[in-house]
Each structure stands twice: as structure tokens, then as C-alpha cells.
């Protein structure tokens, strides 16, 4: 097992990793920008190193500073969390060259699954269901021709990343020619990769993702699914596990298909395979995220498995703690239901970011409530990073109980001095379509 892990991240995910390390008896090193000097992850880690000014490119994305911090403190491994360098294959390679274990998949796996076009090719080779799509598009005319072949509407996507950047719904050849250059520029700006591809667009899909944990030696565990259909501009806002749209039979079938694909690929570490579910209930592979997900707590709540601790154990070459009780290709049966609300420092109507001083903070508690957060009263939310300041997670014996607990938890939560999207979540939780489980990625459009 590792002796000391450097956490190349900040905020709630850095705290989450620190907690897992502490339970495993592993020392931790926090890195931080100048503006994050008083952040909780800095306070809770065993050691802390300032790696640069506030802008991420000069701190959390500055690889030489992170490697230097690891060497200075004697860390033997690096955990990237999510975001920042978590899916950067070059960073993983540099860690290996410097004698540091990267807690995540191999650089080769990251390259295979991180590029959306190569991920589609891998998914096809390993028997995962796919929507009709294309390889990398040469130019706007080629894109229009390929989209016509597939059939409109199509979704134009960036090969090098996600999150909505470079993503356009295209309903005609003329629209493709007009929007292709814009999407390409967005992709270059966001990912330094202008490659685009397209696939058939599903009008009212659900977003379903499956959590996997693999040892790279033939054991691939599929730890259930999450429903992530509540999104704004392709950014997830509320997640739950399990999905009301996934039957026990479909769950068992997908566990077998996904486990087989992961075994064939030799993948190692945590990973999440994301699918679109059409109105007929069919699932089609979209992409794979080769890291821990923001929404991992809902899976933890319904499985009782500490995903971050298991990821660390796997990276150290140890078997998962549940290996004796769960067959590698068997579906795990969820226990109850869990919901996560992402609390952002933003205006709940305009969605404009709202950084500033938190004058008062009171997290909710009680039965079945968990809060993952990196803020406190007196903490100043910086303007330089993602606006998420907390995750509220509830668990109940039923979905109705999980919803009731989330409503109660949000009514207890106090965050003053800045604006948050708590009221937006409360509106979602009261909407009849949400209560009945009638969800799609266009849910917020109906909410108004």
C-alpha cells in the first residue's frame, strides 16, 4: 500500500480523497493555489504545498509544480480526482517517468477512451451498443455529407472532450456547414483538439451511466447504474441511483456486456461508461470517463462500497474488499435509492457564477443525509474555478423516501453571502415529472 499520496486537485473531491486515505492509514499532501491557502483540503491534509497563483494553468494544471511538490514531500503516488489533470494521459506518463504511481488507468487506456472517436471504435470492437455515427470529419462539406448519410438530426461533437463544448444539434446540411467552424473553434479552445465527429441525435433521451471497477487482470465489476438526465447545457445537475428506467433484467444484461468489454480491453481502475437511453428503452454507448465521477456518492450509498478507497487499493495492486462476495460479472443489487444535488455558487435564474465571501454556512444532517463540501463560514469562493461548492446526497429505502429527505435537507441548508442554486433544486424535486420518474436530458426546458 502507498505511504503518501499527493492529491492534484482542490475542493470537495480533494477532501473526499483525504478522508479515504486517512481510513487506509495513508499520509496525504495537498497542493493549492495562492487563493486557496485557507481551503479545507489544505487544512485537513498532513502536508500542503503552494504550487502557484490563482489561475488554474499556473497552479492546478501546472505539471512541473505538481511533480516538484510530490518530490519535495516524498509522495509515492498521485491521485488526480476529477477535472484538471484527471484524464490527461501525458500527466499520467510523466508521473510514471518520475517514479510516481498515478491512481487511475494507464496512459494507453486514457488515450483509447478519452478520445471520443477512438472510444467509439473500441466500444464497437468490444460489443457495446452504439448509435450510428462517423469517424473524424475532415471539413464542413464532409460533415454535411456524412450527416446526410446517417440521417438528420445529428449531434456534432468534439472528439477530445465533453461538457457541451463543441457540441451542436444539427438538423440540416446547411446548418452543418454554418455551425461546423464554430464547433471546431470551441473544441480547439476547450481541448486544444479541433477534431469533430457526429452521431444520430436522440430527441428525448435519458442519460444512464454504469460504474465499473477493474483490476486489468480479468476482474471487472459493474457496480450498478446512475440516472444523470437532469442537465443544463450538457452539465449534470442532479443524479440518482438506481435509475427507474433500468429493469433488473436490463441491469443484469448490461453488467454482462460491460464486464466483457472491460475484460477484453484490459482496463484498470475506476471508470464510468455513459449511455443514451432512447424512448424505446434501448441503450447506446456515448463515452467513457476514466476517473472518479462527481456523482460517485450515489453509487456508494446504494452499494455500501467506498469507491475512492477501492480505487486506491486497486492502484496499489490489492484486490477489492468485496471480491469474495461479488462475482466479477454479476450485477450488484442496489440497496434502496440515493439522490445527489450539486450546489453551485450561481444565480438560480440566470445561472451566472456568484463567487464571494460565505458569511454563514450550515449543512443539513439527519438520517440518510450526506454532504460533501469544501466551504465553511468565512471561506471566500474564488472566481477562478468551477462554481460547485457542495454536494448534498440522500438515501432512502425507496425513491420517494430519498426525495422526501432531499427536500428536507435542502430546506435546512444555509449558505449566505453568495447566491446558490438551492431553490432550483427545490423546484426540480417538486415537479410532477421528476416525482413520477418521467425524465430526459431536456427536463429543464420543460421546467421553464
**Geometric angle at alpha carbon 183, from 179 and 184, rounded to 5°:** 115
The CATH architecture assigned to 206-447 reads: 2-Layer Sandwich (3.30)
**Mean pLDDT for the stretch of residues 220-247:** 96
Same fold, 132-200 and 206-447: no
What is the fold, at CATH topology level, of the domain defined by 4-103?
A: Rossmann fold (3.40.50)
Name the average pLDDT for the chain: 95
Note the CATH number of domain 132-200: 3.30.1490.20
pLDDT > 90 fraction of the chain, expressed in percent and rounded:
92
Position 328 scores a pLDDT of 64
Domain-wise residue ranges, the chain: 4-103, 132-200, 206-447
Position 329 scores a pLDDT of 64
**Mean pLDDT for the stretch of residues 225-249:** 96
Would you say 425 and 417 are in contact if contact means Cβ atoms under 8 Å apart?
Answer: no
DSSP-assigned letter for residue 240: E
Measured N-to-C along each axis, helices 63-73 and 89-97 cross at an angle, to the nearest 10 degrees, of: 30
- Rounding to the nearest 10 degrees, give the CA dihedral for residues 55, 309, 115, 52: 10
CB atoms within 10 A of CB 151: 10
Does residue 120 have an active-site annotation? no
- Up-side HSE of residue 166: CA atoms within 13 Å toward CB? 22
Alpha-helix residue ranges (DSSP H) falling in 244-355? 248-265, 296-303, 307-315
Examine the pLDDT at 163 and tell me if it is beyond 80.
no
What is the reported pTM?
Answer: 0.92
110-142 pLDDT tens trace: 999 988 889 999 999 999 999 999 999 999 999
> Residue length, the chain?
448
The residues, ordered by sequence, that sit 6+ positions from 218 with a Cβ below 8 Å of its Cβ are 263, 328
User: What CA–CA distance (Å, rounded) separates 249 from 246?
Assistant: 8
Q: Which of 226, 291, 370, 405 is catalytic?
A: 291
423-442 pLDDT tens trace: 999 999 999 999 999 999 99
The partner residues of 340 in beta bridges, in order of sequence, read: 239, 393
347-373 pLDDT tens trace: 999 999 999 999 999 999 999 999 999
Amino acid at each position: 500500500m502507498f505511504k503518501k499520496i499527493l492529491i492534484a486537485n482542490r475542493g470537495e473531491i480533494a477532501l473526499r480523497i483525504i478522508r479515504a486515505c486517512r481510513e487506509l492509514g495513508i499520509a496525504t499532501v495537498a497542493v493549492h493555489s495562492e487563493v486557496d491557502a485557507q481551503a479545507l483540503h489544505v487544512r485537513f491534509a498532513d502536508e500542503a504545498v503552494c504550487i502557484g497563483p490563482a489561475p488554474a494553468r499556473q497552479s492546478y494544471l501546472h505539471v512541473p509544480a505538481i511533480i516538484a511538490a510530490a518530490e519535495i514531500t516524498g509522495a509515492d503516488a498521485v491521485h488526480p480526482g476529477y477535472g484538471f489533470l484527471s484524464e490527461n494521459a501525458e500527466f499520467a506518463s510523466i508521473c510514471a517517468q518520475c517514479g510516481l504511481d498515478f491512481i487511475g488507468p494507464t496512459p494507453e487506456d486514457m488515450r483509447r477512451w478519452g478520445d471520443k472517436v477512438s472510444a467509439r471504435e473500441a466500444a464497437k470492437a468490444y460489443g457495446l451498443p452504439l448509435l450510428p455515427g462517423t469517424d473524424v470529419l475532415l471539413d464542413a462539406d464532409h460533415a454535411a455529407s456524412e450527416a446526410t448519410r446517417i440521417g438528420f438530426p445529428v449531434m456534432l461533437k468534439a472528439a477530445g472532450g465533453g461538457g457541451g463544448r463543441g457540441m451542436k444539434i444539427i438538423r440540416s446540411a446547411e446548418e452543418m456547414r454554418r455551425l461546423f467552424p464554430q464547433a471546431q473553434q470551441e473544441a480547439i479552445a476547450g481541448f486544444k483538439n479541433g477534431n469533430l465527429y457526429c452521431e444520430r441525435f436522440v430527441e428525448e433521451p435519458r442519460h444512464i451511466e454504469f460504474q465499473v471497477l477493474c483490476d486489468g487482470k480479468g476482474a471487472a465489476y459493474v457496480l450498478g447504474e446512475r440516472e444523470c438526465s437532469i442537465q443544463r447545457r450538457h452539465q449534470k445537475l442532479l443524479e440518482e441511483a438506481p435509475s427507474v428506467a433500468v429493469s433488473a433484467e436490463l441491469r443484469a444484461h448490461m453488467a454482462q456486456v460491460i464486464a466483457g468489454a472491460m475484460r477484453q480491453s484490459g482496463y484498470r481502475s475506476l471508470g464510468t461508461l455513459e449511455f443514451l437511453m432512447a424512448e424505446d428503452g434501448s441503450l447506446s454507448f456515448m463515452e467513457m470517463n476514466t476517473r472518479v465521477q462527481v456523482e460517485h456518492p450515489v453509487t456508494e450509498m446504494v452499494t455500501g462500497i467506498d469507491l475512492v478507497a477501492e480505487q486506491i487499493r486497486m492502484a496499489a495492486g490489492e484486490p477489492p474488499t468485496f471480491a469474495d462476495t461479488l462475482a466479477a460479472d454479476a450485477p450488484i443489487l442496489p440497496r434502496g435509492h440515493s439522490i445527489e444535488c450539486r450546489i453551485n455558487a450561481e444565480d438560480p435564474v440566470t445561472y451566472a457564477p456568484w463567487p464571494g465571501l460565505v458569511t454563514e454556512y450550515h449543512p443539513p444532517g439527519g438520517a440518510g443525509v450526506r454532504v460533501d463540501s469544501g466551504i465553511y463560514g468565512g471561506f471566500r469562493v474564488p472566481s477562478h474555478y468551477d462554481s460547485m461548492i457542495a454536494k448534498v446526497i440522500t438515501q432512502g429505502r425507496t425513491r420517494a423516501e430519498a426525495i422526501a429527505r432531499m427536500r428536507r435537507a435542502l430546506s435546512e441548508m444555509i449558505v449566505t453571502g453568495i447566491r446558490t442554486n438551492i431553490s432550483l433544486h427545490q423546484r426540480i424535486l417538486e415537479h410532477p415529472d421528476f416525482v413520477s420518474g418521467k425524465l430526459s436530458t431536456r427536463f429543464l426546458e420543460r421546467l421553464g
